[in-house]
Amino acid sequence: MTEATTGATPGATTGATTLALDGGTPVRTAGWPSWPPSATAEQRELLLEVLDSGDWGATSGRKVAEFTTAFAQSIGAQYGVSVVNGTIALFLALRALGVGRDDEVIVPAYTFVASATAVVLAGARPVLADVTPETLHLDPVAVERLIGPRTKAIMPVHLAGAPADVDALREYGVPLVEDAAQAHGATWRDRPVGTLGNAACFSFQSSKAMTAGEGGLIVTDDEAVYRKVWALHNVGRSLEGGWYEHPDVGWNLRMTEFQAAVLLPQLGVLDDQVKTRHRAVEFLRRELADVDGLEVLPEPPGTTASSHHLGLVRYDAAAFGGHGKDDFLAAMAAEGVPLDSGYRSLSRENALQAYSDLQPCPVAEQAADTVVWIRQSLLMADEEELSDIVTAATKVRRAFVSS
């Protein structure tokens, strides 16, 4: 058993073990890998190609169509539509499945607020379901209790890049809209995320595994859903119709050629980046096991590849001398290891009260109080750099226990 697990405290407040918060020397003063990574020569070349062409929009250029097709093919989906962001992608997928006024969509309580507000944007009511204690993914048992005659869809969120248990959710016979914003490159029982439901939505916002600053994409194998999404994102036009024919109501929600130019080369490096983050998470899972009070959360059973957009770590304040999560985050940041507090439970988001009956979701609420995140940029580091996370956590625990 290591000193970290025994709570040994000799020298805990002197010399190298004095917390940086208290004037000690930080464990780490170097930076972490940047995210997004520096632009590549190929990205620069494609951006200049678009710039010089004058075809900057998707209706006249070719890059958006090229990227959309390449992305859909990379996961084995029949159809894809690229749009302005991931929130809009969810909105369009819901609308294409017929979700509207007086309908309900079941959404996990531990997720980004856009999962719920996309439902509101579609005119429907988000119904918040609790998550599983082990993985913080949508709990099928909670879903079963909430399904009713107005349930039009379920939105499994592939949290932190690990697939939700879509097989269990499919049992209820309700359309599934995958929120795959964090799950580029993930697989569930060797099936790519994005091909597990009726439609799936990816994000290319700045923090995501593939990014153009903003952007989103909907994939589906259902031609009717594809046609509807395409019309909705392209001001109500039809695939076969003319420029000024608008058989449906829609909006201009198209991606730009510049975004597609930035994204195209990223498809070629995604798998290697996913493997890098996988190695990082497994290293931290192994090494942090020796730090009492920290646990890297497991992926749901059936996960054959996680994109590891985040490393989720459960923090036990009792093992850290009773110091709360905010104290731990502040101490780690001072040691040169910036961690993230993570989501609030959507059951605590009062802004949703007008659109949803906010019932308690105890597991999600506890996660908001006890789970910290290791961001994607840190997970792109090598083992020598990652060891600083373990060293800092050990140092902080030792100081907290002795204080």
Whose tokens are 């988000």? That residue is: 126
Given 265, 290, 306, the domain boundary residue is 265
Task: Return the pLDDT at 403.
Answer: 84
Domain CATH for 321: 3.90.1150.10
User: Residue 49 belongs to what H/E stretch?
Assistant: helix 41-53
Per-residue pLDDT of the chain (403 residues; tens, 9 = 90+): 333 333 333 333 444 689 999 999 999 999 999 999 999 999 999 999 999 999 999 999 999 999 999 999 999 999 999 999 999 999 999 999 999 999 999 999 999 999 999 999 999 999 999 999 999 999 999 999 999 999 999 999 999 999 999 999 999 999 999 999 999 999 999 999 999 999 999 999 999 999 999 999 999 999 999 999 999 999 999 999 999 999 999 999 999 999 999 999 999 999 999 999 999 999 999 999 999 999 999 999 999 999 999 999 999 999 999 999 999 999 999 999 999 999 999 999 999 999 999 999 999 999 999 999 999 999 999 999 999 999 999 999 999 999 8
Given 225, 249, 265, the domain boundary residue is 265
284 with 147, same domain: the answer is: no
132 with 69, same domain: the answer is: yes
57 with 81, same domain: the answer is: yes
Q: Does the active-site annotation cover 325? A: no
Residue span of the structural domain in which 194 resides: 41-265
152 with 242, same domain: the answer is: yes
CB-based contacts of 271, cutoff 8 Å, min separation 6: 185
Residue 51 domain flag: yes
248 with 285, same domain: the answer is: no
Q: How far apart are CA 158 and CA 147, in angstroms?
A: 20
Residue 6 domain flag: no
Task: Return the pLDDT at 8.
Answer: 34
Q: How far apart are CA 64 and CA 15, in angstroms?
A: 56
Q: Report the candidate in 118, 109, 131 with the shortest Cα–Cα distance to residue 87.
A: 118
CB-based contacts of 45, cutoff 8 Å, min separation 6: none
57 with 154, same domain: the answer is: yes
Given 265, 281, 298, the domain boundary residue is 265
Whose tokens are 């070719």? That residue is: 62
CA-CA-CA-CA dihedral for 180, 185, 190, 191, to nearest 10: 40
247 with 348, same domain: the answer is: no
Q: Are strands 177-179 and 199-203 parallel, antiparallel or unpaired?
A: parallel
Q: Report the candidate in 126, 138, 67, 71 with the shortest Cα–Cα distance to residue 94.
A: 126
Task: End-to-end CA distance of the chain: give it in Å, rounded.
Answer: 22
Residue 12 domain flag: no
Q: How far apart are CA 280 and CA 294, in angstroms?
A: 16
Residue 35 domain flag: no
240 with 165, same domain: the answer is: yes
- The residue annotated as part of the active site, out of 63, 208, 228, 395, is 208
48 with 112, same domain: the answer is: yes
Q: How far apart are CA 236 and CA 346, in angstroms?
A: 33
254 with 305, same domain: the answer is: no
Rounded to whole angstroms, what are the CA distances from 347 to 17, 198, 324, 357?
Answer: 40, 26, 21, 9
Please calculate the CA angle 57-184-82 and round it to the nearest 5 degrees.
20
248 with 276, same domain: the answer is: no
Domain count, the chain: 2
236 with 378, same domain: the answer is: no
Q: Report the candidate in 161, 163, 168, 157 with the shortest Cα–Cα distance to residue 105.
A: 157
